Amino acid sequence: MHLAYPAVLAVLLFCVGLYGVLARRNAILVLMSVELMLNAVNLNLVAFDVWLRDTLHAGQALTLFTITIAAAEIGIGLAIVLLVYRNRGTSDVDKLTDLADTGTLPDAGSASIAPTTDNPADTAAEQALRAREQTA
């Protein structure tokens, strides 16, 4: 097999994932695009491992490691997205602009640093905790 087939497919998949990361707004869709990019790298690793006939099979071992790290990444990433959704009520990456440099004065920017709890269940839980802390 010509080596260009898997290499070109990996390049195109990577660029599709790149477009997704840049253009998507939902955080979970961004994570999907990151998965596509990681898979493109895996395809490259496997193709070059088969081409080089490596005795250590470094490409395949690294592919397994990448798959495992991608699984860990998606677990942590989804936990973070769920936490953000619980605290902010949105998983829109365009709205998470607390650290953005807006070019305004610091006292004007400090208004957006205050945590906004849009989720009513969360505030209810915190009020219950506070009440329990006061009665105890």
Name residues contacting other proteins, limited to 65-124 (CB under 8 A): 65, 67-76, 78-83, 85, 91-94
Euclidean distance between CA atoms 110 and 95, whole angstroms: 16
Residue 2, Cβ neighbours under 10 Å: how many? 7
Nearest distance, CB of residue 98 and other proteins, angstroms? 17
Nearest distance, CB of residue 50 and other proteins, angstroms? 5
Question: How many residues in the chain?
Answer: 136
Residue 73, Cβ neighbours under 10 Å: how many? 15
Q: Which of residues 17-56 bind other proteins (CB under 8 A)?
A: 17-20, 22-26, 28-29, 31-33, 35-36, 39, 42-43, 46-47, 49-51, 53, 56
Nearest distance, CB of residue 10 and other proteins, angstroms? 8
Find, among 22, 1, 6, the residue nearest to 63 by Cα. Answer: 6
